Structure 1
Amino acid sequence: MPQLIASIVLYKHQYEDVKPTMDALLGCQSLSRLVLVDNGGCAWAEQLQEPKVHYIRSDRNGGYGHGHNQAIRAFAGQADYFLICNPDIQFHSSDLDHYLAGLSGHAAGLFMPRIVYPDGTQQELCKLLPTPANLFARRFLPPLAEKLDQRYMLRHADFDKAFFAPSLSGCFMLFRAAALLELNGFDNNFFMYMEDVDLSRRCAVRFGNLYLPDMSVTHHFAKASYSDKKLLKAHIRSAVLYFNKWGWVFDKTRRKLNKACLAQLPRKKA
């Protein structure tokens, strides 16, 4: 059975809110360690009497990626797969064991299962790499965003089938551990938002990404930056950082990866 290590980054989370995710992970036979990285306000995690749980008090609140990087550096070399997991995820433990067992036939470095809302509706978390217009319109020009999102959010895809996507959500990123180490984890320059786009992009280039709907997980997704002005500013800062890094208009890699995604995308039947 492949060996799995998972990490969850905490910040002012209550034990009761995180417990369902921890229970699902700890119920997996393949899990050898669950790393809880405390970015602040979660001292309860240090008191857990569970042999598979390892607590890390973060050296600072450096954000989502920085927190996970501490777990990646410490433990990714000890497992076949490394799962970057949000604290608001739920699934059946046996489903993850079966999912891992089926990955040997796939060569990608990053995998993402079907992710749904609590009501069972599919979440749109497999995407093309964004252009500035995609992100700007989604925040400030909803009518234009609705048009652009048909392509950007891959809404014409058949999500019952596996396919390559260059941008996969950070809420449940299942990596081959060796690939994640070669990628050196997240870019610490991103405090919050866009760090998953940056990492999945880099993985797509070197190892490949795969949306593989052989498992379904529930994500209690809040879209907090749409209602919180501070988080909106953080999202904008991260978007500027991302496009400064990879290119605003001229981005050959973005065009190449997006074209490759669309060329092989399974389409919904009319």
Structure 2
Amino acid sequence: MTLKKIIKISVSIVFYNSTEIDIKRVFQNIRQLNNISNFSFDFFLIDNASTKKIKLDNLQTSNVHVKYLQRNDGFGAGHNSVLKDLDSDYHIIMNPDVSLNDTDGLIKAINYMNSHSDVVLLSPLVRNENDNQIQYLNRMEPTVFDLLIRFLGPNFFSKRQSKFVKKLGGYDHIQLEENATGSFMLTKTIELKKINGFDTRFFMYFEDTDLTKRMAEEGKVIFFPYFTIVHGWKRDNHTLKGLRPMILSMIKYFNKWGWKLY
């Protein structure tokens, strides 16, 4: 009799000045995932040199590993700090403000990737925390024009903005994903390691768009609507505080991949 192979899944979560609510949410997520019997999980909790002291040590167990970084080199660098420690079939990149209540959907997503060897990255359906509305994060590859009108607000070229986030037909079936959200990414670990994880030149913003394109060079990146996460979305990029680092990252992105104006 052949024993069924246990699928090994690693999860990395980067914290920066996170709230107690986020930490409790992460603890709940860990507990829920550990209850899935046919998968083996390892969790990597990374404090990205928070200026406000946060305590993660009480979450540490045999499969929960806590790491405190001495310097904040950005979101991608935080996740990359554990890349060499991963010994898994699949790796999840996740934000601390994500709730994983749909464990049945996660099982479907992992089984889908397991039976489709050409899929290297899977992006879930994302809903709001407060009203359960869809967050339109199944986006097209960005152009300068698309990003500019999003800066200006939702009423500028609204049809074009709807097209950019695929409001029509972008959330009801499995399809190729051009611009996956970094709030939750289910990746094939071997392929993530092959490209050395995130490009750390992006401190914040566009690191997920860049990773999507680089993973797409290794295989298929898909949007999978049969698995849902809940995300407490913070739109700092629509404030003056968030505007400058986003513009700097946008310039780096287009310098790297080519300037697509429209």
Runs of 4 or more above 6 Å deviation: none
Deviations 1:223-267 (A, max 9, x none): 12213x2221111111111111111138xxxx9xxxxxxxxxxxx
Alignment of 1:110 with 2:121, yes or no, is yes
CA drift at 1:43? 4.4
Asked if 2 retains the 8 angstrom alpha-carbon contact of 1:26 and 1:34, the reply is no
Asked if 2 retains the 8 angstrom alpha-carbon contact of 1:3 and 1:80, the reply is yes
Q: Report the secondary structure of 2:82's partner residue.
A: helix
Residues 68-217 of structure 1: pairs in structure 2 closer than 5 A: 68-75=79-86, 78-92=87-101, 94-95=103-104, 96-106=106-116, 107-118=118-129, 119-140=131-152, 142-217=154-229
TM-score, with length taken from structure 1: 0.85
Q: Percent identity?
A: 29
Letter in 2 for 1:37: I
Which consecutive unaligned segments of at least 5 residues does structure 1 have?
A: 256-270
Tell me, in whole angstroms, the C-alpha distance in 1 between the residues paired with 2:260 and 2:98: 35
Letter in 1 for 2:61: E
* Gap change, CA 1:158 and 1:132, over 3 Å in 2: closer
Alignment of 1:45 with 2:56, yes or no, is yes
Tell me, in whole angstroms, the C-alpha distance in 1 between the residues paired with 2:125 and 2:157: 24
How well do the aligned residues superpose, as a CA RMSD in angstroms? Answer: 2.0
- Residue matched to 1:18: 23
The structure with the greater share of residues assigned to helix is: 1
TM-score, with length taken from structure 2: 0.88
Tell me, in whole angstroms, the C-alpha distance in 1 between the residues paired with 2:153 and 2:127: 26
CA drift at 1:31? 4.3
Which consecutive unaligned segments of at least 5 residues does structure 2 have?
A: 1-5
Alignment of 1:2 with 2:13, yes or no, is no
| Number of residue pairs matched by the alignment | 248
